[in-house]
Chain A
Amino acid sequence: MRKVVIPIGPQHPALKEPESFSVTLSGERIMAFSARLGYNHRGIEKACEERTYLQDVYLIERICGICSHTHSTCFVQAVEEIAGLQVPKRALYIRSIIGELERIHSHLLWLGVAGHEVGFDTLLMYTWRDREVVMDILAELTGNRVNYGINLIGGVKRDLEKQHITDILKSVDILEERTKYYIQVCKEESTLIQRLSGVGVLSHNDALSLGAVGPTARASDVARDTRADDPYAAYDELDFKIVTDDHNDVYGRTLVRLGELMESYRLIRTAIKNLPEGLISVKAPRKIPVGEAFSRYEAPRGEDVHYVKSNGTDKPERVKVRAPTLANVQTVAKMLEDGQLADLPIVIAAIDPCFSCTDRLISVNSSKSETLGSMKWEDLRLYGIEWHRSKGMDFSAINKKLAERL
């Protein structure tokens, strides 16, 4: 059968974020898949170099709208390490509690999105209704539903009060009840099991060799979780257990995330029970001494990595961010190999991608392999038109028609 190459994105009604995929099809079968990043680059790393550490915490927090606490914690951990700050125990516990609440909201969101992608919108409606419980509690604790702004270099900004603790425990009880129900649904609903089983298979060895992280790796039975491998915040005292599954497919990824929800509830309860008394922050210097640090954090989507280099001033010399999606995006091509076109949305959604967090700058090399240097906007436009034409996408006829009509 003749092979057809279909470009999906960067602007596509089915994509939530601008990203370009190219799928080679033979009939309905996917022969090859490739993803191209670079459509949503925001230059945050560079912008960090022009702001003070204090301002960077807020900027870094806005890398992701879902794992905002992830990025800010990962960043402050690195800065605290360079400055040699001893963060109070209570602050570390609060960071863990907020981190787990964030994971709950992210995983519930994912469950809904996954339901939507396979046409099970009932699941979307119910999980997102229940997600409001955790969003409300986060707003109460931190002052906002997303971008909590609770981290500070040297600790946290807000303390947990008695009322908060009762409210958290109450919400966790409600959510645990609901999650048990969703686990039951996912284990017994035959349509869901049949739709997700055997879809997007990533074998244990492939997961290892492609360097998958987070639930994507854990669903291929790779016991890899930063909370256990390199405990940060209060995780070394919380008796954390890694949740894995050996289904190797999208169904396994669903079960891992549901299992992690249950683990998160347990962690929050333990953290609240052992919550130490004392200060919630230590004073951090405005100027951070010369040094560099590397910090890891288990985001809901996998391991997040930050690197910070300081030069003795109040602004960092270099900040480097690697969001979990960058580690996982390569696995999608493997998962889709020989798969069906109809499985594409759910397989991409199953790594829980966050493309704007992961985006990189792409420098364009000419065929003579010398860099083009800087380009004017108009030149870039023409270059784009030419590039698409060379791929067989010529819009000049349509453009002409449109221009005539206007």
Chain B
Amino acid sequence: MIRPGKMLVQVLQSLFKKSATSQYPFKKSEMPAHYRGKINFHPELCIGCKMCERDCPSNAIKIVKVGDKKFEAQFDLAKCIYCAQCVDSCIKKALESTKEFELAVLDKNKLKVTFCADVKKDTDK
């Protein structure tokens, strides 16, 4: 039947339903298992092949040699597009995507993250 107010019934029913929006940020949002969030680096696995650096579409990652077989990764989170290509390119699985997505900061410098290789432990030995 053609008449106006076709959605009215549904709208009125919604009055008595739980709201569809979530209460973020008061209630944390859970990301799916394979979410492509902030990249994590495991220095102990890295062999310094720099494949990640070469394939990164936005020049966001830099691998620096800091000691004998020790490498650190410098990330520019502002440049990173979270494509996880570096994770796929790394044959040693030294990089991984995490579920972390709340990366907005007020201070730009905080977007430059360095994952240090544990140099101190090396000298202790």
Chain B residues with CB under 8 Å of A158's CB are: 34
A190 B57 Cβ-Cβ under 8 A:
no
B20 A129 Cβ-Cβ under 8 A:
yes
Taking the nearest CB of chain B, how far is it from the CB of A98, in angstroms?
Answer: 14
B82 A51 Cβ-Cβ under 8 A:
no
Taking the nearest CB of chain B, how far is it from the CB of A216, in angstroms?
Answer: 26
Chain A residues with CB under 8 Å of B1's CB are: 188
- With A55-B57, A188-B1 given, is the CB distance from A143 to B84 under 8 Å? yes
B36 A189 Cβ-Cβ under 8 A:
no
Q: B4 touches which one: A143, A149, A190 (CB < 8 A)? A: A190
- With A54-B55, A144-B82, A157-B88 given, is the CB distance from A189 to B7 under 8 Å? yes
Interface centre among B58, B84, B85, B88 (most CB of A within 10 A): B85
Interface presence of B83 (CB below 8 A): yes
Taking the nearest CB of chain A, how far is it from the CB of B36, in angstroms?
Answer: 4
Produce 1/0 per residue, B104-119, CB < 8 A to A.
Answer: 0000000000000000
Q: Which of B52-107 contact A (CB under 8 A)?
A: 55-58, 81-85, 88, 97
Chain A residues with CB under 8 Å of B56's CB are: 55
> How far does the alpha carbon of A57 sit from the alpha carbon of B20 in the complex, in Å?
35
Q: Which of A183-232 contact B (CB under 8 A)?
A: 184-185, 188-193
> How far does the alpha carbon of A363 sit from the alpha carbon of B36 in the complex, in Å?
40
Chain A residues with CB under 8 Å of B121's CB are: none
B7 A185 Cβ-Cβ under 8 A:
yes
- With A122-B11, A189-B7 given, is the CB distance from A139 to B32 under 8 Å? yes
Q: B7 touches which one: A126, A136, A190 (CB < 8 A)? A: A126
A55 B55 Cβ-Cβ under 8 A:
yes
> How far does the alpha carbon of A143 sit from the alpha carbon of B38 in the complex, in Å?
12
- With A149-B84, A157-B88 given, is the CB distance from A58 to B57 under 8 Å? yes
Residue of A nearest to B54 (CB): A52
Residue of B nearest to A157 (CB): B88
Question: Using a Cβ cutoff of 8 Å, how many contacts connect chains A and B?
Answer: 67
- With A55-B57, A58-B57 given, is the CB distance from A123 to B84 under 8 Å? no
> How far does the alpha carbon of A382 sit from the alpha carbon of B34 in the complex, in Å?
51
B88 A188 Cβ-Cβ under 8 A:
no
**Chain B interface size, under 10 / 10 to 19 / 20 to 34 / 35 or more:** 20 to 34
> How far does the alpha carbon of A58 sit from the alpha carbon of B57 in the complex, in Å?
7
B88 A193 Cβ-Cβ under 8 A:
no
Produce 1/0 per residue, B1-21, CB < 8 A to A.
Answer: 111111100110000000010
DSSP class of B's interface residues: helix, strand, loop or mixed? loop
Taking the nearest CB of chain A, how far is it from the CB of B124, in angstroms?
Answer: 39
Interface presence of B31 (CB below 8 A): yes
B83 A149 Cβ-Cβ under 8 A:
yes
Q: B57 touches which one: A59, A136, A144, A181 (CB < 8 A)? A: A59
A184 B6 Cβ-Cβ under 8 A:
yes
B85 A54 Cβ-Cβ under 8 A:
yes
Q: Which of A164-195 contact B (CB under 8 A)?
A: 181, 184-185, 188-193
Chain B residues with CB under 8 Å of A191's CB are: 4
Interface presence of A237 (CB below 8 A): no
Chain A residues with CB under 8 Å of B83's CB are: 58, 147, 149
Chain B residues with CB under 8 Å of A236's CB are: none
Q: A144 touches which one: B5, B11, B36 (CB < 8 A)? A: B36
> How far does the alpha carbon of A181 sit from the alpha carbon of B11 in the complex, in Å?
13
Taking the nearest CB of chain B, how far is it from the CB of A201, in angstroms?
Answer: 21
- With A143-B35, A143-B36, A158-B34 given, is the CB distance from A190 to B85 under 8 Å? no
Q: A185 touches which one: B6, B33, B81, B97 (CB < 8 A)? A: B6
Taking the nearest CB of chain B, how far is it from the CB of A189, in angstroms?
Answer: 4
Taking the nearest CB of chain A, how far is it from the CB of B101, in angstroms?
Answer: 10
Q: List 30 A-B contacts (CB under 8 A).
A: A51-B57, A54-B85, A55-B56, A55-B57, A55-B85, A62-B81, A123-B7, A126-B10, A132-B20, A139-B31, A139-B35, A140-B33, A140-B34, A143-B32, A143-B34, A143-B35, A143-B97, A144-B35, A144-B82, A147-B81, A149-B36, A149-B84, A149-B85, A184-B6, A185-B7, A188-B2, A188-B6, A189-B5, A190-B2, A190-B3
17 extra interface residue pairs, beta carbon distance < 8 Å, beyond A143-B32, A157-B88, A189-B5: A52-B55, A126-B7, A139-B35, A143-B35, A144-B35, A149-B83, A149-B84, A184-B6, A185-B6, A188-B1, A188-B3, A188-B6, A189-B3, A190-B2, A190-B3, A191-B4, A193-B2
